């Protein structure tokens, strides 16, 4: 494995390594034959590589969302519930907990304050 100090990477090399990486820095480092930290350093070096990494992350997210929709189309109730709880919030599909007292009465807080424990430590 080579480090960025031993040999520099060009913008084109880093962009090529980012392409089809799913935005995973370890994949990029493997393609560049360098450490994760070196790959990250070169990704952060240029605006074009930063944007390319963001784009790859979006492509990966699109892929996973498509997989989720396939599961929903197949009737997977867990995925349906997940989708509604995350994407359906504005329509009221959210889990929430309500705290109320007995039979809907207001909840009452009881706070007990105890005196500090006595210790056998003597102070001067």
Give the DSSP per-residue string, 16-82.
HHHTTSTT-HHHHHHHHTB-HHHHHHHHTT-HHHHHHHHHHHHHHHHHHHHHHHHHHHTT-HHHHHH
The confidence score (pLDDT) of residue 100 equals: 76
Domain span at residue 46? Answer: 11-91
76 and 67 Cβ atoms separated by less than 8 Å: no
The confidence score (pLDDT) of residue 109 equals: 77
The confidence score (pLDDT) of residue 9 equals: 97
Question: Which positions of the chain have pLDDT values less than 70?
Answer: 1-7, 120-124
Domain membership of residue 45 (yes or no) is yes
How many structural domains compose the chain? 1
The confidence score (pLDDT) of residue 72 equals: 97
43 and 18 Cβ atoms separated by less than 8 Å: yes
Domain membership of residue 52 (yes or no) is yes
The confidence score (pLDDT) of residue 103 equals: 79
- pTM, rounded to two decimals: 0.66
CA angle 87–74–91, rounded 5-degree value: 20
């Amino acid at each position: 494995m080579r480090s960025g100090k031993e040999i520099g990477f060009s913008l084109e090399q880093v962009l090529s390594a980012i392409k089809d990486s799913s935005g995973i820095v370890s994949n990029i480092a493997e393609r560049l034959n360098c450490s994760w930290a070196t790959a990250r350093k070169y990704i952060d070096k240029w605006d074009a590589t930063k944007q390319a990494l963001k784009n790859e992350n979006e492509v990966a997210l699109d892929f996973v969302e498509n997989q989720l929709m396939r599961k929903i189309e197949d009737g997977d109730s867990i995925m349906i519930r997940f989708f509604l709880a995350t994407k359906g919030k504005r329509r009221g599909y959210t889990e929430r907990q309500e705290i109320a007292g007995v039979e809907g009465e207001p909840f009452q807080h009881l706070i007990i304050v105890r005196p500090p424990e006595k210790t056998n430590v003597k102070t001067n």
